[in-house]
Chain A
C-alpha cells in the first residue's frame, strides 16, 4: 500500500483522470473531494459489505426456514 501525507487543500492524482482532494480534517474524520469520470463508480466500502452480508444472511435464512416456508404462505 502506498501511504502519502497531504495537507488540507492538497490532492493526489490516480491515473490521468481521477483526483482526490483532502477538503477538511476534524478530529478523526477526513472529508475527501473526488473528481472522476462518470464510469468510475465511487462508493463507501461499508455499503458493499452490507450487501454481501445481507446476501449471505438471506441464503442462510432460506436453509433455516425452508420447511416452514414450504407448508405455509
Chain B
C-alpha cells in the first residue's frame, strides 16, 4: 500500500507493517495507525510515522541502548490492549525522542511515556510509567 508523508513523500509499505494504536499517542487520540521506519542503517533512531496525518511523525529510540536496566510496568488494561497474556515476550519498547530548539540542540528521551509494541499482533500503546521516577527529558549522548 502507498502512504503519504510530509517528510518521505509517498512511500510504499506492506499492509502487515501497519501498527495500530487503539488509543493513539497520548495527546493525539485521533491518529491510530503508524508505521515504524528505520532512520538509517546502524542509526539509533526510528521514525514513528502516522498513516492518518502525513505531517505527524515522532522520532523514537531504543531505551536499552543507553539505559540497560530500563523497565516498563504494564497494567492489566494495557496488557489487554496489547493482546498479551501474562508473559511479555514479543513486546518491543521504544521511547520518544525530543530535540530542543537550542543551539546545539539538546536531545532527550521521554522515559516516562514509552511506546510498547506487540510485534506479532501489530498493536501498540503508549504507557505512562506512573509508579516510576523516570524522567520525561532524559538527556541522550547523541548528536544530529
Contacts and interface: CB of A to CB of B under 8 A. Distances in A.
A64 B101 contact: yes
A61 B27 contact: no
Given A39-B75, A51-B136, A62 B128 contact: no
B14 interface: no
Interface string A32-59: 0000001101111001101111111111
A62 B25 CA distance: 15
**Best-surrounded residue of A43, A52, A57, A66 (most CB of chain B within 10 A):** A57
Contact of A61 (B6, B28, B101): B101
Categorize the interface residue count of chain B.
Answer: 35 or more
Nearest to B142: A73
Nearest to A56: B27
Given A39-B75, A43-B130, A59-B57, A54 B144 contact: no
A51 B97 CA distance: 12
B121 interface: no
Interface string B89-108: 00000001111110001000
A52 B25 CA distance: 9
Contacts of B27: 51-53, 55-56
Interface string B2-18: 00001100000000000
Nearest to A53: B27
B113 interface: yes
A73 B136 contact: no
Given A47-B112, A54-B136, A73-B39, A61 B98 contact: yes
Interface in B7-54: 7, 25-28, 39-40, 43, 45
A66 B56 CA distance: 12
Nearest to A42: B130
A12 B103 CA distance: 51
Given A58-B59, A62-B58, A73 B101 contact: no
B83 interface: no
